[in-house]
Chain A
Amino acid sequence: MRGYSRRGFLGMAGGVTAAGLLAACGSNTGRGGGSGGDTIEQWYHAYGETGVQQAVERYAKAYDKGTVHVQWNPGDYDSKIASALAASSGPDVFESTLRVDMVRSKQIVSLDDLLGDARSDFTESVLASHTVDGQVYGIPQAVDMQMLFYRKSLLQKAGLQPPRSVDELIDAAHKLTTGKVKGLFLGNDGGVGVLAGPALWSAGLDYLTPDNKVGFDDPLAAESVGKLRTLFTSNSLLLGAPADWSDPSAFTQGLTAMQWTGLWTVPAVQKALGDDFGVLPWPALNGAGKASVPFGAYGSMVNAKSKKIDAAKAYVKWLWIERGDYQQDFDLSYGFHIPARKSLAAKADKLKSGPAADAVRFVQDLGKPSNPPPWTAKMQLALSDSLNKIVRSGGNATTELKNTVTQVQDELKRLNG
Chain B
Amino acid sequence: MRLPRGSDLSGLRLQASARSAAFWLFVAPFLIGLLIFNYIPIGWSAYLSFFDAQGTVTPDTFVGLSNYADMLTGPFAQSLLTFSVFALFIVPLTFALALGLAVAVNRIRFARTFFRSVFFLPTACSYVVAAMVWKLSLFSGVRFGLANTVLDWFGQDPVAWLSNPDPPWYWVVLVTARLWLQVGFYMILFIAGLQRIPDSLYEAAFVDGAKPGWQVFRHVTFPQLRPTSIAVLLLSLIAAYQAFDEFYNLLGTARGYPDFGRPPLVYLYYLALGQTQDYGHGSAGALILALLIALVTLAQGRLLGFGRQEA
Contacts and interface: CB of A to CB of B under 8 A. Distances in A.
A156 interface: no
Contacts of A224: none
B275 A14 contact: no
Nearest to B48: A16
Contacts of B242: 7-8, 10-11
B57 A240 contact: no
Contacts, number: 187
A33 interface: no
Contacts of A82: 55, 274-277
A20 B279 CA distance: 12
Q: Is the interface of A mostly helix, strand, loop or mixed?
A: helix
Interface in B209-239: 235, 238-239
Interface string A1-33: 111100111111111111110100000000000
B286 A14 contact: yes
Nearest to B241: A11
Interface in B239-293: 239, 241-242, 244-245, 253-256, 258-260, 265, 268, 270-279, 282-283, 285-287, 289-290, 293
For this complex, into which size category does the number of interface residues on chain A fall?
A: 35 or more
B91 interface: no
Interface stretch (A266-274, A275-283, A376-384): A376-384
Interface string B42-54: 1011001000101
Given A193-B256, A385-B75, A242 B136 contact: yes
A15 B282 contact: yes
A242 B142 contact: yes
B45 A15 contact: yes
A240 B142 contact: yes
Interface string B153-173: 000000011111110000000
B145 to A, nearest CB: 7
Interface of B: 37-38, 41-42, 44-45, 48, 52, 54-57, 75, 123-124, 127, 136, 139-143, 145, 160-166, 185, 235, 238-239, 241-242, 244-245, 253-256, 258-260, 265, 268, 270-279, 282-283, 285-287, 289-290, 293
19 contacts: A1-B235, A4-B235, A7-B244, A8-B238, A11-B289, A13-B42, A14-B268, A15-B279, A15-B282, A16-B41, A16-B48, A16-B57, A19-B57, A188-B163, A232-B164, A239-B160, A376-B275, A381-B256, A381-B271
Give me the 5 closest cross-chain CB pairs, A-B, nearest first: A240-B141, A14-B286, A193-B255, A239-B160, A15-B272
